[in-house]
Amino acid sequence: MNKCSTNSRSAQATQGVARAPHRSLFYAMGYTPDDLKKPMIGIVNAFNEIIPGHIHLRDLAQAAKLGVAAAGGTPVEFPVIGICDGIAMNHDGMKYPLASRELIADSIETMAVAHKFDGLVLIGNCDKIVPGMFMAACRLNIPSVYVSGGPMLTGTYAGQKADLVRPLFEAVGSYATGAISEAEMEEMELSACPTCGSCAGLFTANSMNCLSEALGISLPGNGTIPAPYGQRKALAKQAGQKAVEMVQKNVRPLDIFTLNAFHNSIALDMAIGGSSNTVLHLLAIAYEAGVPLKLEAFHEISARVPNICKLSPGGTHRLFDLYVAGGISAVLRQLGEQGLLHLEEKTVTGRTLGENIRGAEVRDPDVIRPFSKAYSREGGIAILRGNLAPDGAVVKQSAVAKEMLTHTGPARVFNSEEEAFNAIMERRINKGDVVIIRYEGPKGGPGMREMLSPTSAISGIGLDKDVALITDGRFSGGTRGASIGHVSPEASEGGPIGLLQEGDIIEIDIPGCTLNMKLTEEEITARRAAWQQPKPKVTGKSYLARYAAQVTSASTGAVLKVPE
């Protein structure tokens, strides 16, 4: 039996004469004296009944608790919030998901410090929950292992693969043009999301779950084992066992979240063409870890890592296809064999990353291509700079049509997502236009809303090869097309995107990594002198108002500033 050291964290809450009242409270819940002598492992469960990717997490929490108990620990479950980005999309609810990342990290910190857990099993799945959990792990630096709920199985519609974005979100634009009927829309609704799990494409949730394997904070298979499979429960049980082992060996997150580990995760991100939101989240996690990760790292690694997978929304494959093809371990092994990874990095398995992926095989070269047949020589994400984005902008270049990799066109300027979406649906956007959506950044939104509805509508009406969209907001991992986000500085901070006027000519060169407005320096200076700070969109005592007052630029991960 693994007894907890009197010097352990949990001993501060359970051991000694002065802790007799504390023990009495534990006994009131059914714990035994022996339970309080074992390593106490917090089971952080993001279960709720509003996210398909979380609806089944009670089962995984139970499996993790069995693993903790089998390894000689005492599991203690507590909850954390989670928002479904898909349900929050295209209304003011989308101001909250990115902001919720900080609440998630704060609440885990609060529970773990208040109750002196020795270690954590973090159980999440979707979008902001995952990075929020990683941020908390870094901040606390107590032994932690992450297990996701896994991706849902692929849907079908009209005999073809389907997911939430393709065809469903994009069908909204198709319906507006009369290309599909209301009955067809209803059939898509009923078939696109067939099971529990994170949405089936390589959107933000699945991107982060895959990157967790490269970071070393999760077990192999975490990114791709389907949510309904028994293997997923087994993975959770193993995670519980590993958490106890990590406490015994004193393996902590900051031993794992090194600069080389972040570089490994970026290399994987470029190879699989992950969500552009990964840039925000990796920067934020690195900030909490005290690791000097810079935006330039994404550009540098993208230049040498080819894109060898194309999953929805950029391609036709889904996460299930990647699972069958060998999963993330197979992708990582290919990268490692090309010298593109730091294979000596520690992981929660107790082995190095190189040891974790030894023996992995590519079972389907159509899904995981060899380097000789890569989709592109560069990675899936590009960082653009220029006089429109001096501090950088992000584009998922693997999901951009070749015709739009370079584009010059007139700006169609909108000061909110709603204005732009209405213009798209009313067919007021023309071929060649560059749609500008501003005052939607971390501070200006506030909350940096995802623009999946406008981008999907552009694709749905057939303009994804003719129209670009640029915003200081961000995009869903389900976005495709020439969609450039995270423009920094944002409009509310006086960034150049706030100086644009209707009809200004915008030059986009994704291969050249530039984003410019064709204005003279004299004109830019004059407009900046005339620019006025807009009134905040959110005021009063709300969380969003406090968030807007503290949040930093997207180029630094949209983290919160610590008050001086």
Look up tokens 């940096």; give the residue: 448
Q: Which domains does the chain have, with CATH numbers?
A: 39-154+194-357 (no CATH), 383-556 (3.50.30.80)
Tell me what the mean pLDDT of segment 143-165 comes to.
95
Nearest to 15 by CA among 23, 24, 26: 23
Measured between alpha carbons, how far is 71 from 59 in angstroms, rounded to an integer?
19
Nearest to 105 by CA among 77, 88, 80, 76: 80
- Contact call for residues 248 and 1 (beta carbons, < 8 A): no
pLDDT score of 1: 42
Amino acid letter, residue 549: A
Tell me what the mean pLDDT of segment 121-146 comes to.
98
Tell me what the mean pLDDT of segment 3-28 comes to.
90
pLDDT score of 217: 98
Measured between alpha carbons, how far is 72 from 531 in angstroms, rounded to an integer?
63
pLDDT score of 6: 57
Measured between alpha carbons, how far is 288 from 185 in angstroms, rounded to an integer?
43
How is residue 248 written in tokens?
């015994």
CA atoms within 13 A on the CB side of 30: 3
Q: What are the tens digits of pLDDT across the range 481-510?
A: 899 999 999 999 999 999 999 999 999 999
Other CB atoms within a 10 A radius of the CB of residue 551 amount to 26
- Helix (H, G, I), strand (E, B), or coil: what is residue 401? coil
- Strands, E assignment, 441-559: 468-471, 483-488, 505-509, 514-517
Tell me what the mean pLDDT of segment 15-25 comes to.
97
Q: Which of 144, 198, 376, 476 is catalytic?
A: 476
Confidence band, pLDDT 50/70/90 cuts, at residue 386 = very high
Asked whether the predicted pLDDT for residue 54 surpasses 50, the reply is: yes
Confidence band, pLDDT 50/70/90 cuts, at residue 165 = confident
Q: What are the tens digits of pLDDT across the range 229-274?
A: 999 999 999 999 999 999 999 999 999 999 999 999 999 999 999 9
pTM of the model as a whole: 0.95
Look up tokens 């949510």; give the residue: 227
146 - beta bridge partners? Answer: 122, 218
pLDDT score of 124: 98
How is residue 240 written in tokens?
């519980």
- Contact call for residues 202 and 278 (beta carbons, < 8 A): no
Confidence band, pLDDT 50/70/90 cuts, at residue 529 = very high
Q: Residue 77: in which H helix or E strand, if any? A: strand 74-79
- 276 given a catalytic annotation: no
Chain centroid to CA 371: 26
CA distance readout (Å), 558 to 157, 284, 325: 38, 7, 35
- Helix (H, G, I), strand (E, B), or coil: what is residue 40? strand
pLDDT score of 487: 98
pLDDT score of 3: 57
% of the chain at pLDDT higher than 70? 98
Measured between alpha carbons, how far is 130 from 82 in angstroms, rounded to an integer?
10
Q: Average pLDDT, whole number, for the chain? A: 95
Chain centroid to CA 423: 29
- Contact call for residues 192 and 163 (beta carbons, < 8 A): yes
Tell me what the mean pLDDT of segment 289-298 comes to.
97
